[in-house]
Amino acid sequence: MNKNNTVTPRRGRPPKIARDNADTKALLIRTGLETLTEFGFSATGLDTILKKASVPKGSFYHYFKSKEAYGIALVDAYDSYFIAKLNHYLDQQNIPPLERIVNFTQSAIKGMGKYDYKRGCLVGNLNQELNHLSDEFKNRLMQSYTAWQIQIENCLNQAKQQGTISKTVNTQLMSEYFWIGWEGAVMRAKLTKSSTPLTLYTEMFLRALLT
């Protein structure tokens, strides 16, 4: 403090940002999701995420014992978000089942376009790095796919009950087929920076159901 009773800023490091524990952990999760939906897990250094979040490394290890534990926590968070999104679109009983699927894909297309097709699906991105992931990590990814498939399967079963699609359609296999193809379309959309692969895949999936 100087003679005029004003506070003189200290030189050196900027003051630490005061956060409680929940805020810091949530910030790490949010920053990780933003980063890893665009860049690979293996290629992204932990220091990059910590710098973006303005969180010291010591604080990180207070919440996560390793980078892999952090990665699994990110999958948990992304999975919760994505299931909520699927529920929002696929459980709308006042809308025909196949139209609900189209509404979901249109929402996804809009979301990718918002970020210039740089961000994709976190689980799909991690699926490209299986050689660098543990069995525990791989199992967690498969759990997400299984949960998402159930959402599509339930919607297709309703379409079958309403007579929109044939009763001979194997809805379990078609729901698995949907996600196998959709993840590929997402990767192609990132490559081409275009919605065309997503729109084409949606159209061909519906044609396969209605044939």
pLDDT tens digits, 194-208: 999 999 999 999 999
Q: How far apart are CA 28 and CA 50, in angstroms?
A: 8
Residue with tokens 């005029």: 4
pLDDT score for 43: 75
Instruction: Tally Cβ neighbours within 10 Å of residue 1.
Output: 7
Question: What predicted TM-score, i.e. pTM, was given to this entire model?
Answer: 0.82
pLDDT score for 204: 98
The closest alpha carbon to 209, from 181, 158, 171, 179, belongs to: 171
Amino acid at 193: K
Q: How far apart are CA 171 and CA 159, in angstroms?
A: 10
pLDDT score for 18: 43
Give the pLDDT confidence of 95-138 residue by residue, as tens digits: 999 999 999 999 999 999 999 999 989 999 898 888 888 999 99
- pLDDT > 70 fraction of the chain, expressed in percent and rounded: 90
Q: How confident is the model at residue 211 (pLDDT cuts 50, 70, 90)?
A: confident
Torsion angle, alpha carbons of 98, 144, 184, 156, to 10: -20
Domains of the chain, with CATH numbers?
67-210 (1.10.357.10)
Mean pLDDT for the stretch of residues 51-73: 92
Q: What secondary structure does DSSP assign to 96-136, as a single string?
A: -HHHHHHHHHHHHHHHHHHTTT----HHHHHHTTGGGS-HH
Q: How far apart are CA 175 and CA 120, in angstroms?
A: 20
User: Is 149's pLDDT higher than 70?
Assistant: yes
User: Is 14's pLDDT higher than 50?
Assistant: no
